[in-house]
Structure 1
Protein backbone atom coordinates (compact mmCIF):
# COMPACT_ATOMS: atom_id res chain seq x y z
CA UNK A 1 0.00 0.00 0.00
CA UNK A 2 1.36 3.41 -0.97
CA UNK A 3 1.61 6.41 1.27
CA UNK A 4 -1.18 8.94 1.30
CA UNK A 5 -2.46 12.04 2.98
CA UNK A 6 -5.20 11.56 5.54
CA UNK A 7 -6.95 14.48 7.13
CA UNK A 8 -10.05 15.68 8.88
CA UNK A 9 -10.44 19.43 8.52
CA UNK A 10 -13.79 21.14 9.12
CA UNK A 11 -14.17 24.88 8.73
CA UNK A 12 -17.18 27.12 9.27
CA UNK A 13 -17.05 30.26 7.15
CA UNK A 14 -19.07 33.36 7.93
CA UNK A 15 -19.28 36.37 5.66
CA UNK A 16 -21.61 39.31 5.23
CA UNK A 17 -23.23 41.35 2.51
CA UNK A 18 -21.30 44.57 1.89
CA UNK A 19 -22.45 47.32 4.21
CA UNK A 20 -24.44 44.63 6.02
CA UNK A 21 -27.35 45.24 3.67
CA UNK A 22 -30.23 42.79 3.97
CA UNK A 23 -30.14 41.84 0.30
CA UNK A 24 -30.34 38.01 0.32
CA UNK A 25 -34.04 37.38 -0.17
CA UNK A 26 -35.92 34.15 0.60
CA UNK A 27 -37.15 34.07 -3.01
CA UNK A 28 -33.65 33.30 -4.33
CA UNK A 29 -31.50 32.22 -1.38
CA UNK A 30 -31.86 28.49 -2.19
CA UNK A 31 -30.58 29.13 -5.70
CA UNK A 32 -27.62 31.04 -4.24
CA UNK A 33 -26.85 28.23 -1.79
CA UNK A 34 -26.95 25.64 -4.60
CA UNK A 35 -24.63 27.81 -6.69
CA UNK A 36 -22.15 28.23 -3.83
CA UNK A 37 -22.34 24.49 -3.12
CA UNK A 38 -21.37 23.89 -6.75
CA UNK A 39 -18.34 26.16 -6.43
CA UNK A 40 -17.17 24.35 -3.28
CA UNK A 41 -17.66 20.93 -4.89
CA UNK A 42 -15.93 22.00 -8.11
CA UNK A 43 -12.93 22.90 -5.95
CA UNK A 44 -13.01 19.30 -4.62
CA UNK A 45 -14.18 20.29 -1.14
CA UNK A 46 -17.20 18.90 0.68
CA UNK A 47 -20.19 21.11 1.50
CA UNK A 48 -21.64 20.02 4.85
CA UNK A 49 -24.07 22.88 5.52
CA UNK A 50 -24.99 26.29 4.14
CA UNK A 51 -27.61 28.74 5.35
CA UNK A 52 -28.01 32.30 6.39
CA UNK A 53 -30.19 35.33 6.79
CA UNK A 54 -30.59 38.38 4.54
CA UNK A 55 -27.30 40.02 5.62
CA UNK A 56 -24.85 37.10 6.04
CA UNK A 57 -24.26 33.39 5.47
CA UNK A 58 -22.64 30.45 7.23
CA UNK A 59 -20.92 27.65 5.32
CA UNK A 60 -19.50 24.46 6.83
CA UNK A 61 -17.04 22.59 4.64
CA UNK A 62 -14.87 19.52 4.90
CA UNK A 63 -11.53 20.64 3.47
CA UNK A 64 -8.71 18.75 1.86
CA UNK A 65 -5.28 19.90 3.03
CA UNK A 66 -4.22 21.00 -0.46
CA UNK A 67 -6.99 23.60 -0.53
CA UNK A 68 -6.03 27.18 0.20
CA UNK A 69 -8.89 28.58 2.25
CA UNK A 70 -8.41 32.21 1.19
CA UNK A 71 -8.46 31.18 -2.49
CA UNK A 72 -11.66 29.18 -1.95
CA UNK A 73 -13.40 32.08 -0.17
CA UNK A 74 -12.24 34.53 -2.85
CA UNK A 75 -13.68 32.28 -5.57
CA UNK A 76 -16.98 31.76 -3.72
CA UNK A 77 -17.42 35.50 -3.19
CA UNK A 78 -16.33 36.56 -6.67
CA UNK A 79 -18.40 33.97 -8.52
CA UNK A 80 -21.51 34.35 -6.37
CA UNK A 81 -21.36 38.18 -6.70
CA UNK A 82 -21.34 37.78 -10.47
CA UNK A 83 -24.12 35.16 -10.34
CA UNK A 84 -26.40 37.35 -8.18
CA UNK A 85 -25.81 40.47 -10.29
CA UNK A 86 -26.22 38.68 -13.65
CA UNK A 87 -29.46 37.05 -12.46
CA UNK A 88 -30.62 40.49 -11.23
CA UNK A 89 -31.76 38.93 -7.95
CA UNK A 90 -31.22 42.24 -6.16
CA UNK A 91 -32.35 45.63 -7.38
CA UNK A 92 -29.11 46.94 -5.85
CA UNK A 93 -25.56 46.03 -6.88
CA UNK A 94 -24.64 43.03 -4.76
CA UNK A 95 -21.22 42.57 -3.18
CA UNK A 96 -19.89 40.58 -0.27
CA UNK A 97 -18.06 42.57 2.37
CA UNK A 98 -14.27 42.24 2.56
CA UNK A 99 -13.06 39.72 5.07
CA UNK A 100 -14.62 36.63 6.60
CA UNK A 101 -14.58 34.48 9.68
CA UNK A 102 -13.16 30.95 9.56
CA UNK A 103 -13.55 28.67 12.55
CA UNK A 104 -12.34 25.06 12.83
CA UNK A 105 -14.17 22.15 14.44
CA UNK A 106 -13.55 18.56 15.44
CA UNK A 107 -15.52 15.73 13.88
CA UNK A 108 -17.45 15.26 17.13
CA UNK A 109 -18.81 18.83 16.91
CA UNK A 110 -20.22 18.54 13.37
CA UNK A 111 -23.80 17.60 14.28
CA UNK A 112 -24.13 20.64 16.54
CA UNK A 113 -22.54 22.99 14.02
CA UNK A 114 -24.81 21.72 11.24
CA UNK A 115 -27.90 22.22 13.45
CA UNK A 116 -26.66 25.70 14.34
CA UNK A 117 -26.30 26.63 10.67
CA UNK A 118 -29.68 25.11 9.76
CA UNK A 119 -31.33 27.21 12.52
CA UNK A 120 -29.93 30.57 11.43
CA UNK A 121 -33.30 32.21 10.81
CA UNK A 122 -34.64 31.24 14.25
CA UNK A 123 -31.33 32.09 15.92
CA UNK A 124 -31.28 35.63 14.51
CA UNK A 125 -34.72 36.41 15.85
CA UNK A 126 -32.97 36.50 19.24
CA UNK A 127 -29.43 37.66 18.46
CA UNK A 128 -27.95 40.17 16.05
CA UNK A 129 -25.18 39.27 13.64
CA UNK A 130 -22.84 41.63 15.49
CA UNK A 131 -23.49 39.81 18.81
CA UNK A 132 -23.12 36.42 17.12
CA UNK A 133 -19.86 37.33 15.40
CA UNK A 134 -18.28 38.79 18.55
CA UNK A 135 -19.22 35.60 20.43
CA UNK A 136 -17.48 33.50 17.77
CA UNK A 137 -14.34 35.62 18.07
CA UNK A 138 -14.40 35.37 21.87
CA UNK A 139 -15.21 31.64 21.95
CA UNK A 140 -12.38 30.84 19.55
CA UNK A 141 -10.05 33.33 21.28
CA UNK A 142 -9.43 35.28 18.09
CA UNK A 143 -7.76 38.60 18.76
CA UNK A 144 -9.24 41.45 16.76
CA UNK A 145 -9.24 45.18 16.45
CA UNK A 146 -12.60 46.89 16.30
CA UNK A 147 -11.76 48.86 13.16
CA UNK A 148 -11.16 45.63 11.21
CA UNK A 149 -14.52 44.04 11.98
CA UNK A 150 -17.34 44.12 9.45
CA UNK A 151 -19.14 47.42 8.86
CA UNK A 152 -22.11 47.28 11.21
CA UNK A 153 -25.49 48.85 10.58
CA UNK A 154 -26.87 50.01 13.90
Structure 2
Protein backbone atom coordinates (compact mmCIF):
# COMPACT_ATOMS: atom_id res chain seq x y z
CA UNK A 1 0.00 0.00 0.00
CA UNK A 2 1.18 3.45 -0.91
CA UNK A 3 -0.30 6.83 0.01
CA UNK A 4 0.65 9.47 -2.53
CA UNK A 5 -0.55 12.87 -3.60
CA UNK A 6 -3.25 12.59 -6.24
CA UNK A 7 -2.64 13.74 -9.78
CA UNK A 8 -5.19 15.46 -12.00
CA UNK A 9 -5.06 12.32 -14.16
CA UNK A 10 -6.39 10.35 -11.13
CA UNK A 11 -9.63 12.35 -11.06
CA UNK A 12 -11.66 10.03 -13.35
CA UNK A 13 -10.74 7.04 -11.15
CA UNK A 14 -11.55 9.03 -7.99
CA UNK A 15 -14.94 10.04 -9.35
CA UNK A 16 -15.76 6.43 -10.23
CA UNK A 17 -14.59 5.25 -6.79
CA UNK A 18 -16.65 8.00 -5.13
CA UNK A 19 -19.76 6.90 -7.03
CA UNK A 20 -19.34 3.26 -6.02
CA UNK A 21 -18.68 4.20 -2.39
CA UNK A 22 -21.53 6.69 -2.02
CA UNK A 23 -24.03 4.32 -3.60
CA UNK A 24 -23.47 1.78 -0.80
CA UNK A 25 -22.84 4.12 2.15
CA UNK A 26 -25.26 7.00 1.61
CA UNK A 27 -28.63 5.29 1.21
CA UNK A 28 -30.41 8.47 2.29
CA UNK A 29 -29.39 10.21 -0.95
CA UNK A 30 -31.54 10.01 -4.06
CA UNK A 31 -30.08 9.36 -7.50
CA UNK A 32 -30.63 13.07 -8.20
CA UNK A 33 -28.72 14.05 -5.02
CA UNK A 34 -25.82 11.80 -6.02
CA UNK A 35 -25.74 13.21 -9.56
CA UNK A 36 -25.69 16.77 -8.18
CA UNK A 37 -22.87 15.97 -5.75
CA UNK A 38 -20.92 14.17 -8.48
CA UNK A 39 -21.08 17.29 -10.62
CA UNK A 40 -19.78 19.45 -7.76
CA UNK A 41 -16.99 16.99 -7.09
CA UNK A 42 -16.02 16.91 -10.74
CA UNK A 43 -16.32 20.66 -11.36
CA UNK A 44 -14.73 22.10 -8.24
CA UNK A 45 -14.38 20.10 -5.03
CA UNK A 46 -11.60 17.73 -6.09
CA UNK A 47 -9.54 20.74 -7.15
CA UNK A 48 -10.32 22.65 -3.93
CA UNK A 49 -8.56 20.24 -1.56
CA UNK A 50 -5.21 18.56 -1.14
CA UNK A 51 -5.94 15.05 -2.37
CA UNK A 52 -4.09 11.91 -1.39
CA UNK A 53 -4.78 8.42 -2.70
CA UNK A 54 -4.24 5.00 -1.18
CA UNK A 55 -3.30 2.48 -3.81
CA UNK A 56 -2.35 -1.13 -4.13
CA UNK A 57 -0.04 -2.31 -6.88
CA UNK A 58 -3.12 -2.59 -9.10
CA UNK A 59 -5.43 0.30 -8.31
CA UNK A 60 -6.55 3.20 -6.13
CA UNK A 61 -8.68 1.83 -3.27
CA UNK A 62 -9.38 5.06 -1.39
CA UNK A 63 -8.72 8.76 -1.13
CA UNK A 64 -8.73 11.60 1.37
CA UNK A 65 -8.99 15.34 0.79
CA UNK A 66 -7.82 18.08 3.16
CA UNK A 67 -8.40 21.78 3.47
CA UNK A 68 -5.85 22.75 6.12
CA UNK A 69 -6.74 20.59 9.15
CA UNK A 70 -10.23 19.71 7.94
CA UNK A 71 -10.85 16.36 6.32
CA UNK A 72 -13.27 17.35 3.57
CA UNK A 73 -13.62 13.89 2.07
CA UNK A 74 -12.62 10.31 2.73
CA UNK A 75 -13.88 7.50 0.53
CA UNK A 76 -12.95 3.83 0.27
CA UNK A 77 -13.98 1.79 -2.75
CA UNK A 78 -16.96 -0.49 -2.20
CA UNK A 79 -15.08 -3.79 -2.34
CA UNK A 80 -12.36 -2.57 0.02
CA UNK A 81 -14.40 -1.19 2.92
CA UNK A 82 -13.92 -2.77 6.33
CA UNK A 83 -10.34 -3.87 5.62
CA UNK A 84 -8.43 -1.11 7.45
CA UNK A 85 -7.86 1.22 4.49
CA UNK A 86 -9.90 4.04 6.00
CA UNK A 87 -7.87 3.71 9.19
CA UNK A 88 -4.65 4.01 7.15
CA UNK A 89 -5.88 7.26 5.62
CA UNK A 90 -6.98 8.65 9.01
CA UNK A 91 -3.61 7.69 10.52
CA UNK A 92 -1.96 9.55 7.63
CA UNK A 93 -4.14 12.58 8.44
CA UNK A 94 -3.20 12.38 12.13
CA UNK A 95 0.49 12.44 11.19
CA UNK A 96 -0.10 15.67 9.27
CA UNK A 97 -1.94 17.40 12.12
CA UNK A 98 -2.66 16.67 15.76
CA UNK A 99 -5.96 18.52 15.40
CA UNK A 100 -8.44 17.37 12.77
CA UNK A 101 -11.98 18.41 11.99
CA UNK A 102 -14.54 16.76 9.75
CA UNK A 103 -18.27 16.62 9.16
CA UNK A 104 -20.27 13.43 8.83
CA UNK A 105 -23.88 13.01 7.78
CA UNK A 106 -26.07 12.14 10.74
CA UNK A 107 -27.80 9.57 8.50
CA UNK A 108 -24.51 7.68 8.09
CA UNK A 109 -24.11 5.88 11.45
CA UNK A 110 -21.48 3.51 10.05
CA UNK A 111 -19.18 6.44 9.22
CA UNK A 112 -19.85 8.06 12.60
CA UNK A 113 -18.93 4.83 14.40
CA UNK A 114 -15.74 4.56 12.31
CA UNK A 115 -14.64 8.10 13.17
CA UNK A 116 -15.45 7.66 16.85
CA UNK A 117 -13.30 4.50 16.84
CA UNK A 118 -10.51 6.68 15.44
CA UNK A 119 -10.79 9.06 18.42
CA UNK A 120 -13.07 11.75 16.99
CA UNK A 121 -15.72 13.32 19.22
CA UNK A 122 -18.90 15.16 18.30
CA UNK A 123 -18.37 18.89 18.78
CA UNK A 124 -21.39 20.35 17.02
CA UNK A 125 -24.42 19.85 14.83
CA UNK A 126 -25.97 21.52 11.79
CA UNK A 127 -29.52 20.87 10.61
CA UNK A 128 -28.47 21.07 6.96
CA UNK A 129 -25.46 20.10 4.88
CA UNK A 130 -23.03 22.63 3.41
CA UNK A 131 -25.41 23.26 0.49
CA UNK A 132 -28.44 23.86 2.69
CA UNK A 133 -29.98 20.45 1.98
CA UNK A 134 -31.92 18.69 4.77
CA UNK A 135 -29.08 16.28 5.58
CA UNK A 136 -27.97 17.08 9.15
CA UNK A 137 -24.24 17.14 9.79
CA UNK A 138 -22.32 16.17 12.90
CA UNK A 139 -19.14 18.22 13.35
CA UNK A 140 -16.34 16.02 14.66
CA UNK A 141 -13.00 16.87 16.23
CA UNK A 142 -9.84 14.87 16.85
CA UNK A 143 -7.12 16.11 19.23
CA UNK A 144 -3.90 14.23 19.78
What is the TM-score with the length of structure 1 in the denominator? 0.31
| Bigger RCO (CA 8 Å, 6+ sep) | 1
Structure number having the greater strand percentage:
2
- Higher-Rg structure is 1
What is the TM-score with the length of structure 2 in the denominator? 0.33
